[in-house]
Amino acid sequence: MTDSHAVARPHPPIWVMGLTNAVFGMMNGFAVVTLPQMLAAEGVPGGHIAAITAAIISPGFWAFIFSPMLDVRLRRRTYALLFGAIAALAVAFTVLHHSDVGTVEIVMLIGYLSAAFYQGSVGGWMGSLISPEEDSQLGTWFNIANVGSGGVIIVAGGPLILHAPPAVGATFMLLAMLLPAALFPFIPAPPPDKLLASESFGRFGRAILDLLRRNDVLIGLALFVLPAASFSLTNVLGGLGKDYHANASTVSLFAGLGSIVAGLGGSFLVPRLARRIELRPLYLLIGIVGAIFTLGTLLLPRAPWTFGVVFTGEIIFQALAFTAAFGIAFQIIGPGNPLASTLFTLLIAAMNLPIIYNGILDGWGYDRGGLAGSFVMDAGLRLAACILLALALRRWLFAPRPPPLAEPALPD
């Protein structure tokens, strides 16, 4: 390998690169909000809908098992085109045939897995092109694309899909999810590393294990696996409107339009904050301040306006956390990394894990202590994780920016 692997390549504006993540945002908005509404309209019980949704979005965690394929054989652009098209077709099929619940669950599982592969492809692709100084900016636009596109599907696509003829809704979703591919011709797409592509899977696997021994990778995984800044309450607040005497329209307003405004606002704050503090300690600071906010809202009256404050605040902190996390991920990848998509998909899986298990614990807290039990569980775990990580990683949190990842050494 040449030294070019440690040098950022010429690329279009960061916002163009970041908006490629919109495909995953649209898939997530459809799978988590719009599809459950469609299934409910078909008379599917709420418990069954929750189980179906959990199964569909599960690849957000385990897709990393297959992620090494994204760095070999074909360009990452080719993988993005392939998996983006499969994800779009899966959603269009679901809109047309949502009454066939069993088939829809299988098709959407494949579609969400494809969307996860798509995100890994574009994340590794974009992350390997930028300079270290652009990490937080790309993280910002990646999260803007995720939040904004998901919100658009909830606010605009949802009503269209639910009330227009199925063919209209399916066409809308298909075209919307294929649209980000129009940005691809403007972004350089280097070929995969020829040496890595020629290696056997066993040797390639050992190269990945060698990569995972790096301190910066392990620190990133530790930050993400623990619930330091998971803000999983955003996934359960939609079902807690009754605790604030908020009607369905109020909940939908904040789940859709409110998420867009608050999410975009939170995302844009991170580059400004990152000028004053490194991304790793910033990530923990977001978790600590957000936990204090969560506990503080318990002092407010149980009223619809309070629900708006709580939901908006949690979305802002989650947007801050995800934007900082994306920035840390791109920081770890570094320019020219031949295993960029593998590493990005692994880090995304680590980010998703605490959202899953912390959400379960939030529900456990609600069952035993109502709203206060859920909030204390969520914020308490976040504070404990942040303090633990700050103590355990204090030598590295404020260390200078890690050098870009070079090509991992291949065993002889």
If one counts every other C-beta atom within 10 angstroms of the C-beta of residue 329, the result is: 28
Q: Cβ-count burial of 299 within 10 angstroms (0-12 exposed, 13-18 middle, 19+ buried)?
A: exposed
pLDDT, average across residues 114-122: 96
Of 261, 62, 305, 85, give the one whose Cα is nearest residue 184. Answer: 85
Cβ(225)–Cβ(350) under 8 Å? Answer: yes
Among the ranges given (84-98, 280-294, 344-358), the one the predictor scored with the smallest mean pLDDT: 344-358
Model pLDDT, residue 405? 37
Banded pLDDT at 1 (limits 50, 70, 90): very low
Model pLDDT, residue 402? 47
The residues, any chain, with a CB within 8 Å of residue 90's CB and separated by 6 or more, are 107, 108, 110, 111, 112, 114
Provide the 8-state DSSP code for 277: S
Could you state, in order of their start, the residue ranges of all structural domains in the chain? 3-194+207-397
pLDDT, average across residues 29-38: 85
Model pLDDT, residue 294? 94
Banded pLDDT at 216 (limits 50, 70, 90): confident
More reliable by pLDDT, 262 or 153: 153
What is the Cα–Cα distance from 359 to 362, expressed in whole angstroms?
5
Token match 């359960």: residue? Answer: 236
Question: DSSP letters along 119-177, please?
Answer: HHHHHHHHHTTS-GGGHHHHHHHHHHHHHHHHHHIIIIIHHHHHHS-HHHHHHHHHHHH
Which amino acid, one-letter code, is at 329?
A: A
Model pLDDT, residue 410? 34
Of 372, 398, 211, give the one whose Cα is nearest residue 295. Answer: 372
Model pLDDT, residue 270? 87
Report whether pLDDT(87) > 90.
yes
Report whether pLDDT(93) > 80.
yes
Among the ranges given (169-178, 199-208, 265-274), the one the predictor scored with the smallest mean pLDDT: 199-208
Among the ranges given (178-182, 205-209, 263-267, 277-281), the one the predictor scored with the smallest mean pLDDT: 205-209
pLDDT, average across residues 174-201: 81
Banded pLDDT at 151 (limits 50, 70, 90): confident
**110-127 per-residue burial string, b: 16 or more CB within 10 A, e: under 16:** bbbbbbbbbbbbbbbbbb
User: How far is the first Cα of the chain from the last one, in angstroms, to the nearest whole number?
Assistant: 15
Model pLDDT, residue 200? 44
pTM: 0.82
Banded pLDDT at 45 (limits 50, 70, 90): confident
Report whether pLDDT(209) > 80.
no
Model pLDDT, residue 406? 40
pLDDT tens-digit series, residues 317-331? 988 999 999 999 998
Banded pLDDT at 110 (limits 50, 70, 90): very high
Portion of the chain with pLDDT greater than 90, in percent: 37
Among the ranges given (252-256, 269-273, 317-321, 326-330), the one the predictor scored with the smallest mean pLDDT: 252-256
Among the ranges given (10-24, 187-201, 231-245), the one the predictor scored with the smallest mean pLDDT: 187-201
What is the Cα–Cα distance from 245 to 261, expressed in whole angstroms?
23
Q: Cβ-count burial of 65 within 10 angstroms (0-12 exposed, 13-18 middle, 19+ buried)?
A: exposed
- For the chain, give the mean pLDDT: 84
Question: Is the alpha carbon torsion for 31, 35, 39, 40 positive or negative?
Answer: positive
pLDDT, average across residues 162-171: 90
pLDDT tens-digit series, residues 372-407? 998 999 999 999 999 999 998 877 776 555 444 343
Banded pLDDT at 198 (limits 50, 70, 90): low
The residues, any chain, with a CB within 8 Å of residue 96's CB and separated by 6 or more, are 166, 167, 170
Among the ranges given (64-73, 199-208, 314-323, 336-345), the one the predictor scored with the smallest mean pLDDT: 199-208
Report whether pLDDT(334) > 80.
yes
Of 174, 123, 180, 171, give the one whose Cα is nearest residue 149. Answer: 180
What is the Cα–Cα distance from 221 to 350, expressed in whole angstroms?
6
Report whether pLDDT(352) > 80.
yes
* Among 41-55, 124-138, 237-251, the range of highest mean pLDDT: 124-138
Model pLDDT, residue 196? 59
What is the Cα–Cα distance from 64 to 350, expressed in whole angstroms?
9
Q: In 82-212, at which residue ranges do the beta strands (DSSP E only) sit? A: none
What is the Cα–Cα distance from 378 to 216, expressed in whole angstroms?
27
User: What topology does CATH give the domain 3-194+207-397?
Assistant: Growth Hormone; Chain: A; (1.20.1250)
